[in-house]
Amino acid sequence: MLFQFIKVVWFAMFCIAAYAAPARYCVDYSRTIPNVKPALCEQAQLVDMQARSVLGRPIWGRDIAAADARLRVLVVGGIHGDEMSSASLVFHWIGMALTPLSDTPDPIHWRFIPALNPDGLFSRPAKRVNAHGVDLNRNFPTPNWARDARIYWEKRTRRDPRRWPGSKPLSEPESRFLLAQMDSFKPNLIVSVHAPFGLLDFDGPSVPPSKLGRLYLDQVGIYPGSLGNYGGIHKRIPVVTIELPSASRTPTEAEIRQIWIDLLRWTSERLGVGLSAQANVSECVGPECRKVEQP
């Protein structure tokens, strides 16, 4: 009887700890990420995506699915840990997705991952690379990665340690997690948020957006092992790469909203036409997943 009581108490403590974890991480996030207060993070109701960084930190995410969603959009921030504004933008977008615009013609199932590289984000100082010193945005399995990634790193970056692609593609748990998300969620669009070049990049099929907010299209080319190269060129999933003007400061709230509105309009115009209801094949992740009725 005593043993059973101890088991019940332990289980209850475990559940409380699991519930409290996001609040604890929200404190950490708010201390690290610009323009993210604990209340904004807590409102996001992040869910443990059951993935861990090199150092064992959870990777958090959130699904927000409109009723009868036919489009699936994966939004990823913090691929580079020292681009803190990218994670901030994703947190603000989660709040906007919770109150969808009344004139959005195509309901969307969003999956948000604010910080893919928590080890880099929480380093002191923050680092572009993960805890293994790998640039996650050079670690995806593009064709001829073994040849091209190494040559590019040696000759074009002059062995810049901030751009080390790793010993092999998908060597890192964070990049493997994101690939698994692409395969299971099957997004119609990937939005990858970076900084600090102040522009838009695009890879893959469809006509790219000419501008989002004050960010204008300026396609900078493809890199061996990059998400845009792998997802856009080889998986044929449109990848919009947003490069914010500053890694440490976010745009104004009005600018963040305008980028969001322009993205919604472009997504509906270019990707929403002709998709059948059978495209909605994935389920929300975690008990916090919320269905949002379109007005």
Supply the CATH number for residue 267's domain.
3.40.630.10
Q: Which residues, at least 6 apart from 227, have a Cβ–Cβ distance to it below 8 Å?
A: 76, 79, 137, 140, 178, 190, 192, 239, 241
Predicted pLDDT of residue 67: 83
Q: Which parts of the chain have pLDDT scores under 50? A: 2-3, 5-20, 274-295
Predicted pLDDT of residue 285: 47
Predicted pLDDT of residue 24: 85
Predicted pLDDT of residue 273: 54
Predicted pLDDT of residue 167: 96
Domain count, the chain: 1
* Cα separation, 168 vs 139, whole angstroms: 7
Predicted pLDDT of residue 18: 45
For residue 132, is it within any domain?
Answer: yes
* Cα separation, 25 vs 60, whole angstroms: 9
| Closest alpha carbon to 77 in 66, 93, 64, 65 | 93
For residue 42, is it within any domain?
Answer: no
Predicted pLDDT of residue 289: 42
Decide if 69 contacts 111 (C-beta within 8 A): no
| Closest alpha carbon to 126 in 173, 170, 86, 166 | 86
For residue 26, is it within any domain?
Answer: no
Decide if 106 contacts 270 (C-beta within 8 A): no
Q: Which residues, at least 6 apart from 103, have a Cβ–Cβ distance to it below 8 Å?
A: none
Q: Which domain holds residue 88?
A: 47-292
Residue given tokens 């699904």 in the structure block = 63
| Closest alpha carbon to 239 in 211, 279, 206 | 206
For residue 23, is it within any domain?
Answer: no
For residue 36, is it within any domain?
Answer: no
Residue given tokens 């195509």 in the structure block = 106
For residue 257, is it within any domain?
Answer: yes
For residue 72, is it within any domain?
Answer: yes
What's the CA dihedral at 199, 227, 195, 103 to 10 degrees? 60
* H helix runs in the chain, sequence order: 2-32, 38-44, 84-97, 118-121, 145-151, 173-185, 227, 253-271
What is the pairing mode between strands 215-216 and 211-212?
antiparallel
For residue 222, is it within any domain?
Answer: yes
Predicted pLDDT of residue 272: 79
Predicted pLDDT of residue 102: 66
